[in-house]
Copies of this chain bind each other. A is one copy, B any other.
Amino acid sequence: MIAGDLERLIQLLSRLPGLGPRSARRAVLHLMKKREALMLPLAEAMARAAESVTLCSTCGNLDSHDPCGICRDPRRDPKLLCVVEDVADLWALERSGAFKGGYHVLGGTLSAIDGRGPDQLNMGRLLERVTGEGKDVEEVILALSATVDGQTTAHYISERLAGSGIKVSRLAHGVPVGGELDYLDDGTLTAAMKARRPA
């Protein structure tokens, strides 16, 4: 006997990652209590973003403009291009403030199991951006997951760029800042030991 409109809202909300039916019901009751302050603004923000935000045709970022704000920013170094799997990774790097070049969002990794080859990814556009006529990219930084698929993808890109004269680098492995050794997996510890540096 939940009202149809609420039932539908719960059903749609429960399809978001991280929300199940129970938390969707809680969220809806919360929204109903904050109708003016949260529910209406959220509905409007969602409709507006769905309308205005698109994929950047250059790098695959999400933005209200195409090319996106990062691709259009003249202060960013056009010689550096950072390859990421997903927009979430681009956002994470932007939050860190550690990188001031351009990005390229692949939209996933190569995966033998899921049957994703280079054609299913934003890969052709990457090679074109890097090796095309009159391009000034000097270094491609592969910021891909340290998973089998991520590393396969990194290897594939390295191979494709071999001999082009473009430097290809990867993020360093090591102990996360603030991380306790005791909780780290063996692979990370081994990598951190191998890549040890003078103190």
Which A residues have a C-beta under 8 Å from some C-beta of B?
Answer: 1-6, 8-9, 12-13, 15-19, 23, 25-32, 35, 38-50, 52-53, 62-65, 68-70, 73, 86-88, 91, 94
Contact = CB atoms under 8 A, between A and B. Distances in A.
Contact of A94 (B2, B13, B52, B70): B2
B32 A27 contact: no
Interface centre among A5, A30, A63, A65 (most CB of B within 10 A): A5
Closest 5 CB pairs of A and B: A43-B46, A43-B47, A18-B23, A16-B27, A5-B49
A116 to B, nearest CB: 15
A96 to B, nearest CB: 12
Q: How many copies does the complex hold?
A: 2
Contact of A46 (B1, B25, B39, B49): B39
A158 to B, nearest CB: 27
Main secondary structure of the interface of A (DSSP, over half): helix
B29 A15 contact: no
Given A18-B19, A32-B62, A91-B25, A43 B50 contact: yes
Contacts of A32: 49-50, 53, 62, 87
A17 B8 contact: no
Given A18-B19, A30-B16, A5 B45 contact: yes
A16 B10 CA distance: 13
B29 A86 contact: yes
Contacts of A53: 3, 5-6, 32
Nearest to A91: B2
A28 B16 CA distance: 9
B16 A18 contact: no
